[in-house]
A and B are shown apart, each in its own frame.
Chain A
Amino acid sequence: MMTFLTLLFKILVFPGFLFVTVIGLLLAGIDRKVLARMQKRVGPPIVQPVYDFFKLMGKETIIPSAANKAAFLTAPVVGLVSLVVLMLFIPVFSYSAFSGSADMIVVLYLLTIPGVALIVGGSASGSPYAGIGISREMVAMMAYELPLVMVLLSVAKKAGGDSLCFSLQDIVAWQAANGCGAFHWSLIPAALAMLLVIPAEVGTQPFDVAEAETEICEGPLIEYSGAPLAVFKLNTALKMFVMTALFTALFFGGIDTGIVALNALILVAICVVLTILCMTTVHAVTARLKVEHLFKFYWTTVAGLAAASLVLVWIGL
């Protein structure tokens, strides 16, 4: 009974649903505020995403007549569940909710589910704008998956040495013993590649080809309104946190104060810095890419960075 309650606490409060939601919405708010300041605007208050979420929750849900109702409504929830589960697999420094022998590939695959949920939801809406949007989302997914895999494999090889190490906890433990991943120079290209993967995974400008408000009117989200839209917006905010937390686990996992609450605070601080660094700043200074350019960019430049790291790690540096 006690273990069940503990698990329930982990899922619903920390590091599960409540924690992820609050921090995710906070990150989204900070992103908007800092972006506005960079563009010399006043910007919304930092809690604006929370207001937006509750406002959308109260709005009417319109299901277009061309839509498949079941898929249209379940898709956002499936994405949300997978993101919460994902956070349970990512260790917060030495603390981790679930322990598995090989959670890296689980993380890799769980990361695709929010994207798939967006695609299935958009597809189910029956809109041609959504049709274009899902096609772009899928191409973007293929684009960033290659560097992401290489980043994960290089970190795994660096941490594991001559034995197989796919467990994020082992990677974090290795960093606690040998210094953070980002301080090993052979992993720096991988860290840079990962920094570029984050905005594509979250779908912020210049990699927001799928949603592209100005040309295809938010693509997959075009027919969404009310609560399902709120959940999709929440998913985007959660992705920000989950991706930056994954980066922290892979490259700054060695920090450990021994106090879980303090660790969580440090994690949030790192996530805020990462959000401003790789999402807000990049957003402020660039314009949207075309989908074929995005694909080329990820399979050449970003994959090249990750491959450099992989090769360096493999020759033992």
Chain B
Amino acid sequence: MITYAHFPVLAVMGLFFGAFLVEIFGSRSKAVRNFIAIVTAAGAFGLIAALIKPVMLDGEVISYWMGNWEPVSGYAIGIGYEIDQLGLFFALLIVTTFLLSGFYSLRYMERDHHLGHYYTLYLMLSGSVLGLSLTGDVFNMFIMIEIMTFAAVALTAFRNESRGALEAAFKYLVVGSIGSSFTLAGIALLYAQCHTLNMAQLASILAAGLTPTTLFAFALMFTGLAVKSYIVPFHAPAADAYTTAPTSISMVFSGMVNKAGVYGMIRLVYVIFRAIDLPAMQMLLACFGTVTMFVGVTMALAQHDFKRLLAFHSISQIGYVITSAALGTGLGLTGALFHAMNHTLFKGLLFLCAGAVLYAAGTTDLDRLGGLSKRMPKTTVCFLIGAFSISGLPPFNGFVSKWIVYQSIYAKAVETHNFAYAFITIVAVIVSVMTLASFIKVTQAVFFGQLPASCAQVREVPLSMRIPMWIMSVLCVLTGVFYDFVNEHLLHPAVKAAFNATGYIDAMMGEGYAAAAGVANVEVAPVEFSYWNPILWLVLFVVMLVAVFFVILTGRNTRGRVLEETGAPADGKYATYFSGEKSMPSHVGGSDLFWGFKHDWKSYFTVMQGAHSGVVNDYALWAVFGGAVVMLFMFTFLR
């Protein structure tokens, strides 16, 4: 009998197996290929979703030894999979992302060739990221990172006829390999010191204290995973890759590939090395996070390509996640996980909207689009929901998570009397306003304003592309409104698991193992937050009703007089105002917006332009430099 303990492994194996099947049988017919891809993705989704009940709700931790190779005389030799609530939380984000992306790809990718390879790589990428979040073995984690990196590189270059695709893939390859090498070096050192690769056992051995070698290994692995989550200064290749990859893959990149890096960092810092209690470690992470969110958003403001702008926002939002996770408090980690989840939802949605625009209009250049809301009204609604969510307007989900993030950072500032955290709070709020600004820019440049002649024939995207967009939009609203439910059933178990190292170790190595090694738990009280309670929602609903009533009342005055464009009379009453001149098409959008802001920040943008030179040598240098800073910092302050 197959119990749910086998589900995680089956899900990962199924995806890899599906990849091979697509490669073998996919070339025969389109239907077979699509069928295999969607069935394996949906199967993985089902298997992981089935674990919500035992793991999330009943609080069980699943441990699974590959080939039933259990620890021999106290040493874990075999590969172990361990699914605790933290891992499952990220696994759920991952399966949701790739299932929707796969569904979206069916129509979105129809004009491309060699789609057999596309689905093979897509399933490899999905399987590797899912495996990364479920594995309990650091070397297995490294293997998954490698598969992930190379599948991602190949997918970045998939549309290699388009400008910059190969270049972006090359940058991704170089910087990604640097990250992988850092991780591998760290794992090798750890293995040499601790004679085990099992995360649970490593955690209990390292609880005795860090030697210089293990500290060095920590720095290396930390850097490696930081590269994978694209925090500044490792972010540059991500912007290129997200822009040139097919949009269904950009969504996967921002929804789960960089989440994999974040998951790795949280696992590393919270569970394996348990270094999050150290103020210096918190400061290091918080600084990385703050710089990431600020650089990401300012660079996004300067972009004039829809997808590239979204790419920089992905970087910026990961900054929020890292900063909040850096605090080492229950509230902070709740905010981090909530924001990670919301980022998966709204950024996935926004990438899908960008894909819809690319599919329909053939370009994502903000200077060449405009007025698409008349042609693609449904996409516009989805986009606005995504944009308001990422800008953190109530009542969308981004507001709740940002609200927890600010609150946790400022609480940290007040508790530790550290002005740096107060400063970080201010930066976080300002970054949020700038996020809003750059999405206003996209709204104006793409969806509102005037329709250029080149876009006159644009049509709404097909239904199978809109369904994933609607699912994401609805989830954005639901998680914002029922945040209590999300917190109770998804976030709190995951947060508790991150602080519960003994549970993690005992589930893998046997009861009492952690206590023998001297690992103690950190108790996390359930985080309760309410910015308004259900009764206020009822009230808000009434206010909305009143407002609608108000509109109906005023609307009565104009009934019959509001004419549509077809009925526009010759006197130009319904034409746009042009101070008496003849009305002509003119659109303010794209790079023209916010010149006042850019003017004031000229020197900053000049420096940033220099830093984002586009030369892969520079980026590699930045990555190595970042690694050196981490090592220096750790050897100075963590000893």
Tell me if chain B binds chain A: yes
Asked whether A136 is an interface residue with its Cβ less than 8 Å from the other chain, the reply is yes
User: Which residues of chain A from 71 to 102 have a CB within 8 Å of any chain B CB?
Assistant: 71, 73-74, 77, 80-81, 84-85, 98, 100-102
Indicate which residue in B419, B544, B550 contacts A314 across the interface (CB closer than 8 Å). B419
Q: Closest chain B residue to A290 by CB distance?
A: B596
| Count of chain B residues with a beta carbon within 8 Å of a chain A beta carbon | 83
Q: Is the Cβ of B532 less than 8 Å from the Cβ of A112?
A: no
Indicate which residue in A58, A291, A310 contacts B596 across the interface (CB closer than 8 Å). A291
Q: Is the Cβ of B440 less than 8 Å from the Cβ of A98?
A: no
Indicate which residue in A66, A105, A145, A146 contacts B406 across the interface (CB closer than 8 Å). A105
A141-B574 contact given A66-B371, A106-B403, A164-B411, CB 8 Å threshold:
no
A126-B411 contact given A64-B574, A65-B574, CB 8 Å threshold:
no
Q: Is the Cβ of A113 less than 8 Å from the Cβ of B536?
A: no
Per CB-CB distance, the 4 closest pairs between chain A and chain B, nearest first, are A131-B588, A227-B554, A291-B596, A65-B565
**Alpha-carbon distance between A132 and B588 when the two chains are bound, in angstroms:** 7
User: Which residues of chain A from 220 to 238 have a CB within 8 Å of any chain B CB?
Assistant: 222-223, 226-227, 230-231
**Which among B39-47, B67-75, B421-429, B507-515 touches the partner chain?**
B421-429
Asked whether A239 is an interface residue with its Cβ less than 8 Å from the other chain, the reply is no
Across chains A and B, the number of contacting residue pairs, with CB separation under 8 Å, is: 232
Chain A residues with CB under 8 A of B542: 7-8, 11
Distance (whole angstroms) from the CB of A139 to the closest CB of chain B: 5
Q: Is the Cβ of B588 less than 8 Å from the Cβ of A135?
A: yes
Distance (whole angstroms) from the CB of B346 to the closest CB of chain A: 16
Indicate which residue in B371, B563, B592 contacts A126 across the interface (CB closer than 8 Å). B371
**Which among A148-156, A171-179, A259-267, A275-283 touches the partner chain?**
A148-156
Q: Is the Cβ of A124 less than 8 Å from the Cβ of B557?
A: no
Contact with B along A108-148 (1 / 0, CB 8 A): 11101100100110011111110110111011011001100
**Which among B137-145, B164-172, B350-358, B444-452 touches the partner chain?**
B444-452
A61-B574 contact given A113-B393, A217-B579, CB 8 Å threshold:
no
Q: Is the Cβ of B554 less than 8 Å from the Cβ of A164?
A: no
Q: Is the Cβ of A62 less than 8 Å from the Cβ of B547?
A: no
Indicate which residue in B384, B425, B557 contacts A153 across the interface (CB closer than 8 Å). B425
**Alpha-carbon distance between A126 and B450 when the two chains are bound, in angstroms:** 5
Q: Is the Cβ of A164 less than 8 Å from the Cβ of B433?
A: no
Chain A residues with CB under 8 A of B546: 11-12, 17
**Alpha-carbon distance between A105 and B544 when the two chains are bound, in angstroms:** 22
**Alpha-carbon distance between A311 and B575 when the two chains are bound, in angstroms:** 53
Q: Is the Cβ of A227 less than 8 Å from the Cβ of B557?
A: yes
Asked whether B430 is an interface residue with its Cβ less than 8 Å from the other chain, the reply is yes
**Alpha-carbon distance between A106 and B407 when the two chains are bound, in angstroms:** 11
| Count of chain A residues with a beta carbon within 8 Å of a chain B beta carbon | 89
Asked whether B516 is an interface residue with its Cβ less than 8 Å from the other chain, the reply is no
Q: Closest chain B residue to A313 by CB distance?
A: B422
Q: Is the Cβ of A292 less than 8 Å from the Cβ of B596?
A: yes
**Interface of chain A, main secondary structure:** helix
Chain B residues with CB under 8 A of A149: 425-426, 429-430
Other contacts beyond A102-B529, A105-B407, A135-B588: 17, CB < 8 A: A16-B543, A57-B554, A66-B576, A71-B384, A77-B548, A123-B449, A129-B577, A131-B444, A136-B596, A141-B433, A142-B433, A145-B430, A146-B430, A153-B426, A223-B576, A227-B554, A299-B600
Q: Closest chain B residue to A3 by CB distance?
A: B535
Indicate which residue in B392, B419, B440 contacts A119 across the interface (CB closer than 8 Å). B440
Q: Closest chain A residue to B451 by CB distance?
A: A66
Q: Is the Cβ of A116 less than 8 Å from the Cβ of B403?
A: no
**Interface of chain B, main secondary structure:** helix
Asked whether A304 is an interface residue with its Cβ less than 8 Å from the other chain, the reply is no
17 interchain pairs, CB-CB under 8 A:
A7-B538, A7-B539, A8-B539, A61-B561, A80-B550, A81-B544, A119-B440, A124-B448, A128-B450, A134-B444, A141-B437, A150-B426, A153-B410, A157-B414, A217-B579, A295-B596, A299-B600
Distance (whole angstroms) from the CB of A299 to the closest CB of chain B: 8
**Alpha-carbon distance between A208 and B595 when the two chains are bound, in angstroms:** 17
Distance (whole angstroms) from the CB of B111 to the closest CB of chain A: 29
Q: Is the Cβ of B550 less than 8 Å from the Cβ of A164?
A: no
**Alpha-carbon distance between A149 and B447 when the two chains are bound, in angstroms:** 31
Residue of A70, A135, A311 with most chain B CB atoms under a 10 A cut-off: A135
Q: Is the Cβ of A314 less than 8 Å from the Cβ of B422?
A: yes
Indicate which residue in B417, B574, B587 contacts A62 across the interface (CB closer than 8 Å). B574
Q: Closest chain A residue to B394 by CB distance?
A: A109
Indicate which residue in B392, B415, B430, B575 contacts A65 across the interface (CB closer than 8 Å). B575
Chain B residues with CB under 8 A of A39: none
Q: Closest chain B residue to A136 by CB distance?
A: B596
Q: Is the Cβ of B426 less than 8 Å from the Cβ of A101?
A: no
Asked whether B540 is an interface residue with its Cβ less than 8 Å from the other chain, the reply is yes
Asked whether A296 is an interface residue with its Cβ less than 8 Å from the other chain, the reply is yes
**Alpha-carbon distance between A166 and B437 when the two chains are bound, in angstroms:** 25
